[in-house]
Structure 1
């Protein structure tokens, strides 16, 4: 029998404005400690040197993480033109350079090929698995390997500022699994000048925005106090992109036990995924069929 995990049974979302120089996992550990939470996880990794919104799920909210990772997210980043690095960001070694510098119009014209349904090859220094090994481990060992291209939906990619001849600021809205470093690398290749990410910030992710996030200093100041609890957002925010059905009180127990039960739904199609709420609180997520919700995830009433 495994050891029972210590901590508070606390559920919801705490939004962090992650600083550079720390891993996403370290941020989650900090939040778990500050709230003395039994369970915590994040909705979408940020590279250690990246900043911006990192949504930390607590307790039952961890069951809604997939709906945030699948949601659109937006990044603001600076591309250093004229240099390619082995990591596709400023942390790596320069492996190619060019004196060519594109005009603003050339950059804007090139961005179009990275919008819509595209195929993208992740950076070699990434957590992608190759025959069971992380790509970054193989790259560090100077192993030769290829990463297959994978699909990515890019909603928008625009130039927001030309800082100087060597630097351009871009903003991108994309779906799940996008690598900004790959966009910078591939844009540089398309422009014939090379490129890598110099600065990267995630400005929003699903319903969460960086400007609403707490800094690590603020979390430290409020750690293990009721003041920090006041910043926890309801777990239901993680279900904002799903339609909601009303759960009658008599259906709640059946749903929480994993059984289909009647719900009141309006405008929800047969077989569509939705969530059921009782008095505004999430009871279960599942498929709506013939007036019943067939649950795939259930939430403990706390």
Structure 2
């Protein structure tokens, strides 16, 4: 009898095109099964009513998820004028109506007011925790959870298409932005109501919809024995972090978690690529990806002429 392949041998990222109606958790479970992977996780929840890019990490790639959560994201969002719902999308009950239908010019004129850092009140139907409970659980129980405003960043707003009752926007934004709240606030600014009727995420950091895989495509690849061909390298989520190749002796030290001394010219070669970067509460502005024979070994911090391993990968 053939030995079963150990599931933890699969390490990398899948650029998954999440279909309509599937939860992000269901997507992770399905992809994990298709690849026969052990650990799995995703970099940023997509609501069931949203489609598009859901980067899924397998194996050791799960250690890089926090870096991708911080990445900028892009969405194509269709909003429907004239009705606001309790969920701020097409799934909810209508709570307010208006006959006002803004023109494309009126919409374009006010978008600049929503650029940069803005204050935003998240939807009551969201995964934010309030006193240990999810806001959406409180809302579904008939309560009115108090949602505190938070600062988010909008990098780009463009009108793609306008009809009498709908408009489609391209939105580039930072982490934690609620598109549903943005649509609500834009409508209020124009003296009307609106809700999100369609939403597609088109980019998360280096992951774009030009190179993603649908569920059908992955299932077909698995049937043909080539599903691993769709797997991206573990370091894909770290594409904007400088990289260094290790010697054999340095590789042995880093694998054991030992600090290695950098030659001044080596430090000088990576220093220009450093930039401010907070991963949660951790300052990762001087992180470096280190590799040996083309394989990622660790994330290290370059400081005071030395590399200090912060996260070692078992690939």
Tell me the TM-score normalised to structure 2 length. Answer: 0.89
**Is 1:293 aligned to 2:307, yes or no?**
yes
* Paired position in structure 1 for 2:30: 30
Q: Which moved more, 1:126-135 or 1:216-225?
A: 216-225
3-state SS of 1:165 partner: coil
Matches for 1:1-302 after TM superposition, within 5 Å? 7-162=7-162, 164-223=163-222, 226-263=225-262, 264-265=266-267, 266-268=269-271, 272-300=286-314, 302=315
CA contact (8 A) 1:35 1:224 kept: no
Q: How far is 1:83 from its partner? A: 0.8
CA contact (8 A) 2:12 2:233 kept: yes
> After superposition, what is the alpha-carbon deviation per residue over 1:80-107, rounded to whole angstroms, capped at 9, x for unaligned?
1111000010010110000011122221
Q: How far is 1:189 from its partner? A: 1.0
Q: Kindly tell me: are residues 215 and 259 of structure 1, through their superposed partners in 2, closer, same or farther at Cα, counting changes over 3 Å?
A: same
Q: Kindly tell me: are residues 181 and 96 of structure 1, through their superposed partners in 2, closer, same or farther at Cα, counting changes over 3 Å?
A: same
> What is the distance in 1 between the residues matched to 2:8 and 2:303?
36
Structure 2 residues not aligned, in runs of 5+: 1-5, 275-284
Structure 1 residues not aligned, in runs of 5+: 1-5
3-state SS of 1:223 partner: helix
CA contact (8 A) 2:243 2:270 kept: no
3-state SS of 1:202 partner: strand
Superposition RMSD on alpha carbons, in Å?
1.7
Tell me the TM-score normalised to structure 1 length. Answer: 0.93
> What is the distance in 2 between the residues matched to 1:159 and 1:167?
11
Number of residues of Structure 1 aligned to a counterpart in Structure 2: 295
